[in-house]
Amino acid sequence: MTTLPKHPADKEGYTSFTINSDRSVTFLIPKIDYDEDLVQKREFLKTALQEITDGLQGVISSITFNDELTEFEVVVNREAFEADFEAQFISFTLNISSKLFQIYSEIPEDAQGGTVNFTDATTGKVFNSDKWPVEE
């Protein structure tokens, strides 16, 4: 590992870096800063999902997720949801968010995955579940 010279990266809390064989760079930050980054990423996603929910009023009632971002519940007005083209992309958005979070969390690729459950607000029942990776 190489110690960083005085560099703007110092201001971001990076303590060292490694140049990998594929020419990518891995930066090391203190665990306390890393843990805070994870909290901030969850909070950012929570805010972004609230904005999506607010923008799709009458279609999506709420979106919740677990701490690992592997399980999402999307509560919807089923009829309005199925008729709204834009709302159909929420599963893709959540899966991408989950994948990026799991990569940052250093979860091994073969252990990464997630589920988006769509719950009908009227019945309280899950009517669709999207899982990734997709099993063939």
Tokens read off for 47: 């805010």
Count Cα neighbours of 48 within 13 Å in the Cβ-side half-sphere. Answer: 11
Q: Mean pLDDT lowest for which of 1-5, 85-89, 115-119? A: 1-5
- State the amino acid at position 30 in one-letter form: P
Average pLDDT over the chain, rounded to an integer: 89
User: Tens digit of pLDDT for each residue in 54-109?
Assistant: 999 999 999 999 999 999 999 999 999 999 999 999 999 999 999 999 999 989 99
Specify whether the CB–CB gap between 56 and 81 falls below 8 A.
no
In this structure, are residues 67 and 42 in contact, taking their beta carbons and an 8 Å threshold? yes
Q: 95: closest CA among 63, 60, 51? A: 63
Q: What is the mean pLDDT of residues 14-28?
A: 83
Q: Is 4 a residue whose pLDDT tops 50?
A: no
Domains of the chain: 31-132 (3.30.300)
Tokens at residue 110, please?
Answer: 């073969």
Separation between Cα atoms, residue 125 and residue 81, nearest integer Å? 15
Cα 29-31-35 angle, rounded to 5 deg: 105
